Structure 1
Amino acid sequence: MTTAPVRRLALLGGGFSTDDDGLLDDWVLARARTPRPKVCFVPTASGDAPAYAEQFRAAFHVRTDCEPSVLPLFQREFDDAALRTFLLAQDVVYVGGGSTANLLAVWRTHGVDQLLREAYDRGTLLCGISAGANCRAEGSHTDSFGPLTYLTDGLGLLPGSVCPHYDSEPGRRPSYRATVAGGQLPAGWAVDDGVGALFTDGVLTEAVTRTRDARLYRVEPDALGGAAERAMPCRPLGQG
């Protein structure tokens, strides 16, 4: 009898683009399905910013525990068949930050949204920071349109909503809580910078932090018309 692949995704509050210690990236790679995973960085949300892609290459090409690559879409290198073959061969798809709204629009134009669903169902670990975390959920808290607001048409691989930069960007916490309280976004997950959260089949199975005070929060409507947040236990990284 064939066992169905484990479907996993990770929300990141850091990684190679913000941290020097590599702890969150080490954590991600250790959760891939193979000891030396193929890791594809997708910088769509930044408009395929060359400096962002080079930052990934500088961080990952020196590693011996993975096989890194970058997938550009603004100057696409693959036809449809080759794109599908390439993405489905990856063990980890690592999505960068930028505009969540633009990311989703470009992915849908190229069919990447459907390919990532297929990869996810086949056991590829999907992870990302900021917009790369937002895109996984049904809805998200975003600055894609300038002021902080909500977006309700994410990929839906993770039930509920996501808010990144919960502790580091002014206005994030009260704005996200207000959208959840008002029903514009469903209950969801607020991610402090420095946190990693792993979900298996949509259920939280691990939360870690590289800084002492960073946390993952569950944010839900409360009985008084507001929103309540609950800090989830996070295992510290890099301590022994």
Structure 2
Amino acid sequence: MKKQLLIYGSGRHTVPFLKYMAEATGKEKPNLCFIPTASGEDQNYIDSFYEVCSQINVTPHVLTVWINSYDQKESFEEIISKMDAIVVGGGNTLNMLAIWKAQGIDVALKKAYDNGVVMGGGSAGSLCWFNAGTTDSRPKELSIVEGMRFIDKSHCPHYNSEKSRRPLYHNNIITGKLTDGYACDDRSAIHFINDEVNCSISLDGENHSYFVYLDNDNNIVEERIPSTVVT
């Protein structure tokens, strides 16, 4: 079963990225599920998901964690296993992962990923799949958060839009706090197949994705991944 992941720099919903995810499933009208845990299930965010989905050929779903056993009779794993693609939204990565772990959602997502459900998302929704990265989930300053390690590399979203992100990411790799990894500008995405980079796609020619690592002289190398503009 092919394992697929599409990650991008910003958590904002866009037609091209969600359409790309839908088409990656190979289904004519796939079940596409949005998980907005990181935003506290912000209603405007959910509404924007449905608005984007109305423009592509999918059946939209939203997985909410603020539930009770009287009203919800399906487990999170049962819901997730019925989906063809899952997109995770932006927000507080640390809080999201803590809730997922408490509810077993992290385990359910890994099982679905291994079974061919296409995963993806931006911001918190991209960071969560990697071994670690920088997050604004804690007070005062950007700090490191560990992810679920679907891809055993580090990650940096918002690479071009938040001035502190790029130099901090470089420094954390140089000092060994983070492994080498992947960075995405807000409007650029990376498509992984079986844990390896398949391609990069972008919404315009100004946003890019990168593999960032140390060379033999301990210098940062920022290797741009060739991308295709999608509309």
Take 1:14 and 1:176, find their aligned partners in 2: how far apart are those partners? 16
Residues 1:210 and 2:206 aligned together: no
CA contact (8 A) 1:33 1:124 kept: no
Aligned runs of 1:1-240 on 2, under 5 Å?
5-14=1-10, 17=12, 19=14, 22-60=15-53, 62-63=54-55, 65-75=57-67, 78-79=72-73, 81-146=74-139, 147-151=141-145, 153-238=146-231
Q: Which stretch shows the higher mean deviation, 218-227 or 124-133? A: 218-227
CA contact (8 A) 1:181 1:222 kept: no
8 Å CA contact 1:33–1:123 kept in 2: the answer is no
Quote the Cα distance in structure 1 between the aligned partners of 2:219 and 2:78: 46
Cα distance, 1:29–1:14 mapped onto 2, change above 3 Å: farther
The separation in 2 between residues aligned to 1:18 and 1:52, in whole angstroms, is 8
Q: Return the offset for 1:13.
A: 2.9
1:222 Cα deviation (Å)? 3.0
State the distance in 2 between where 1:57 and 1:226 align: 44
The whole-number CA distance in structure 2 between the counterparts of 1:160 and 1:23 is 25
Q: Is the 8 A contact 2:9 2:159 kept in 1?
A: no
Task: Name the amino acid aligned to 2:9.
Answer: G
Please say if residues 10 and 158 of structure 2, whose CA atoms lie closer than 8 Å, have aligned partners that are also in contact: no
Structure 1: runs of 5 or more not aligned = none
Q: Which amino acid aligns with 2:166?
A: R
| Number of residues of Structure 1 aligned to a counterpart in Structure 2 | 228
2:49 alignment partner, SS class? helix
* Contact 1:37–1:66 (8 Å) recurs in 2: yes
What is the distance in 1 between the residues matched to 2:28 and 2:181? 31
- Percent identity at matched positions? 29
Q: Which runs of 5+ in 2 are unaligned?
A: none
Name the TM-score, length of structure 2 as normaliser: 0.93
Q: Is the 8 A contact 1:14 1:24 kept in 2?
A: no
Give, in whole Å, the separation in 2 of the partners of 1:84 and 1:18. 24
- The TM-score, its normalising length taken from structure 1, stands at 0.90
Q: Output one character per residue of 1:109-144: Cα deviation in whole Å (capped at 9) or x when no partner.
A: 100000000100110000001000000001112111
**Alpha-carbon displacement from aligned partner over 1:150-209 (angstroms, at most 9, x marks no partner):** 22x211101211100000012111000000111101100000011121111110001111
CA shift at 1:64, angstroms? 5.4
Tell me if structure 2 keeps the 8 A contact 1:209–1:236. Answer: yes
Alpha carbons of structure 1 residues 38 and 175: separation in structure 2 relative to 1, 3 Å? same
